[in-house]
Chain A
Amino acid sequence: MEGAFSYAPAIAAFPLVAFVVALVFGKWMPKKGAIAGIAATGASLVFSLWMLAAVASGETYHETLYEWTAGEAASEIGADTIGFSFGILIDPLAALMLVIVSLVAFLVHVFSLGYMNAEGETGLPRYYAGLGLFTFSMLSFVYADNLLMAFMFFELVGLCSFLLIGFWFRTRSAPSAAKKAFLVTRFGDYFFLLGVVAIAATFGTLQFAGDESFVAAAEAAIDDGGQLFGFDAETWVTITGLLVLGGVIGKSAQFPLHTWLPDAMEGPTTVSALIHAATMVAAGVYLVARMFGYYALSPTTLAIIAFIGGFTALFAATMGVVKDDVKQVLAYSTISQYGYMMLGLGVGGYVAGVFHLMNHAFFKALLFLGAGAVIVLMHHEQNMWKMGGLKDKAPVTYYTFLAGALALAGIIPFSGFWSKDEILYDALIVGLEEPLIMAAYAMGLLAVFFTGFYTFRMVFLTFHGEPRSEAAEDPHPVGWSIKLPLIVLGILAVVAGIANLAPVAKLANVDITFLEHWLDGEYGGIDEVTYSAYSELLAYETGVISSEQVTVLIAAGLSLLLAFSGAGLAWKLYSDPEPTAHKERLGSAGTVVEDNYYQDEYQVWLAEGVTLPLARVADRFDQTVIDGTVNGVSTASLFGSSWVKRIQTGIVTNYAALLIAGFIALLLGLGVYGGWF
C-alpha cells in the first residue's frame, strides 16, 4: 500500500475535471456530461476504496500540500506564527466518509441518467457540472486537514447546493428555495467563520490532527488552567466550539435553522438524494465528528449538541407525520435523522453517530432515489394521495424502497436499527446520570414512534392499496440506470448494520464491533483522533440499569417497541385499499404541525419585523449620510471640473499668458520658499 496516498488528491480532482468538462464540452457530449461525471465519481470511488484499504493496512496520511500564506502573528496561547495551508488528512473516519460520499455520488450520477437524461431535461451540462463541483467540494471537505480549508469547501458545498436546488430556475419556487437554503446556511456559516477566526487567533493553528493541532493546543490550555481572552480556557473552548456549531446547525438543518431543508425539495430529486445522504447535510455532522476532540473538551457544548439533536429528532419527526408530498416526508425524516446523529455525538457516542451517518447515507440515498423512481413512475406526481398500488407494477422499486423504509424506521435487523439503537443506548447510559441528557434521550425515543409512523404511512400510501390516479394505474417504465443504484443501496441498507452489531456484541460477548475498532484506529489511525482518545477526554459519567446487558435489552426493546407501534398504527390507518386522511382528528394540533410549528412564519417575522426595519435604518443612513457625502463630493468634483476646463479658452495667446503666469507663480512661490528675496 506504499504510495497509495500520493494519489489522494486525485479523489477530489476527478469530479473537478468532470465539472470543467461538463461545463465546457457538455453541450456536445453524447450524454451531456453524464459520462464524464460517472467516470469521475467511479474513479473517485475506486481510489477511495484504495484509501480505505490502505488505512486498513495500518497507514494514515497527513500532509500539507500547499501553504498559501504564512507569517508572524501572535496568538493568544503564545504561538507566534501562523500558516494557512491546504492539506490532506486521511484517517479511518475520513477514509470511511470518502467511500460513502463517492459511492453515493457515483450512484446518483448513474441514477441521473434515468432521471434526468431519459426525461428530456434541458440544461443538463449545467446539472452535471453542478454535481461534479458538489462532489469535488464535499470530497475535499472530507479530507481537509485544517479548519480553514474545511470552511472553504463547506462554503463551496453551500454554493453548489444553491446552484442545484435552483436548477429549474425558471419556476417561481426553485430560485426562492435556493436562495433560502443559501441564506439560512450562510447565517449559520457566519458563526462558523467567527469560530474559525477565533480558533486561529487563540491557538495559532487550524490543524485537525497532530501535535500542532488546535485540539491539542486547547487541551494543553485547559490543563494549564490559564485564561484565554479573559475567559477560563474551558469557557473559551465552549464559546468557540459553539460558534463553529453555528455552521453545523445551518448545514445539518438542526433546529432552529432547519427551515431551508424542506424547501430544498424544489431541486431535482437526485440532488436531494446527494444533499441529504452524503454531501451538504452530512457535512455538518461530519464536521462535529472531525473535530470531536475539541468538543469533547467542553461538556457544555456536548450537552447542547445532544439536546438540540434530541429535540430536532422529535420535532422534525412530528412534522413528517402530516406531509402529503413524498419528498417532504423524506425531508423531515432527514432533519430528524441528523438530529439523532447530533444526539449520538453529543452524548459521546462517537462511534454511534458516525455509524448512523453511514447507515443513513445509504438508506436515505436509497429512499430519495426510490422516491425519484416513484416520481418517474408517476409522471412527475409527488402527492402520495394520488399514488397507490405501485407495489405490483414496480416490484424492484417497491422492495428496495421497503428495505430503506425499514432501515429508516429502525426495524430489526435492518441497518438503521443498529445505529439508532446504539445512539439511544449511549444516550440512555449518560442520561441516567445527567437529567438534561435524559430529556434528550426521551425526545429521541419518542421520535422513534413518529418515525415508524410516517415511514410506513408513506410506504402504504405510495405502494399499497388501489391506484388513485391515472398515472398510478399506468406507470411510466423505469430503466436499468434507475434500478441498479436502487438495488445496490437496497442491499447496503439491509446489511450495513453488520459493521457494528454492538448490542449483539454486548449480549453475546463476541467481538464484532468492527466499526468501533476501525474508528479506534486498531487497523490504522492517528493517535489523537481515535475513539478511545476521545473517550478519555469525555467528562460524562455513565450509569446502567442493574447491569450492562439488561440496559442494552431495555434500550433496544423500548425503541423496537415504539418503532413497531408507530409502524403498526400506520398499518391500521392507511393499509386500506382506499385510505382516507386522518388529519382532521388531530384538530388544532394538526394545523400547528402542518404549518411546521410556524417556524417559517416566525423567521419571516424576525426578518420582516426586526431585521428589515434595522436594514431600512441602515439604508436610510447609507442613502442620506454616506451617499449624500459621496454624491456631494462627486457633484463638487464635476462642478470643479466644468470650472477647471474653462481655463482652456481655445485662444493660444491666453495659453501663453497663463503659462507665463503659472511659471511666475512657481518662481515667486519657490523664491519665497527658498529665500531668494
Chain B
Amino acid sequence: MIGVEYYVLLSMAVFCIGLVGVLTRRNALTFLMSVELMLNAANINLIAFAFYHGNLTGQVFALFTMALAAAEVAVGLGIILVLYRNFRDVDVTVPTTMRW
C-alpha cells in the first residue's frame, strides 16, 4: 500500500504547477486553468486522506469542491468575456487603468 505522504507530495507538486501557471501565464484562461489545477491538487489530498482516515467526509467534500470549481469557472468565463469586449484582449496584465 502506498503511504499517504506520496499523495500529499503529488498534490503539492500539482498545486505548485498550478501556482507557477498562475504566476507566469498572462492569458486569463490559462490563469483559470492553473487555478483549477490547484483545486484538483486539493481534491487529490481530500480523496487520499478520506481513504487514509477511513471516512467519507473528504470524498463528499471533493464533490463540493468540483461543483464550486465549475461555478467559479462559469463566473470567470463571464468576466473574461466582458473583459475581451472592453479591452479586446484576454491578457490579464493589460487592464491597468487603476493602480497606486
Contact = CB atoms under 8 A, between A and B. Distances in A.
A660 B100 contact: no
B50 interface: no
Contacts, number: 26
B19 interface: yes
A58 to B, nearest CB: 82
A203 B89 CA distance: 83
Where chain B touches its partner, the secondary structure class is loop
A656 interface: yes
Interface string B69-89: 000000000000000000000
B93 A651 contact: yes
A650 interface: yes
Contacts of B95: 652
A482 to B, nearest CB: 73
A329 to B, nearest CB: 73
Contacts of A646: 100
Nearest to A657: B23
B22 interface: yes
Given A660-B19, A660-B23, A653 B100 contact: no
Interface in A626-669: 645-646, 648-653, 656-657, 660
B93 A652 contact: yes
B26 interface: yes
B99 A648 contact: yes
A645 B92 CA distance: 21
Where chain A touches its partner, the secondary structure class is helix
Chain A, interface residues (CB within 8 Å), range: 10 to 19
B97 to A, nearest CB: 8
A657 B93 CA distance: 13
A656 to B, nearest CB: 5
B1 interface: no
Interface string B7-42: 000000000000100110010000000000000000
Given A645-B100, A646-B100, A648-B99, A653 B19 contact: no
B2 interface: no
B100 A648 contact: yes
A645 B99 CA distance: 8
Contacts of A648: 99-100
B98 A653 contact: no
A650 B96 contact: yes
A82 B22 CA distance: 68
B98 A650 contact: yes
Contacts of A652: 92-93, 95
B93 A653 contact: yes
A660 B24 CA distance: 13
Contacts of B19: 660
A661 to B, nearest CB: 10
A662 to B, nearest CB: 13
A650 B95 CA distance: 8
Contacts of A645: 100
10 contacts: A648-B100, A649-B96, A650-B96, A650-B98, A650-B99, A651-B99, A652-B95, A653-B92, A653-B93, A657-B23
* Across the A-B interface, the 7 shortest Cβ-Cβ residue pairs: A650-B99, A650-B96, A645-B100, A651-B93, A652-B92, A656-B22, A657-B23
Interface of B: 19, 22-23, 26, 92-93, 95-100
Given A657-B23, A660-B23, 8 more contacts: A648-B99, A648-B100, A649-B99, A650-B100, A651-B93, A651-B99, A653-B92, A653-B93
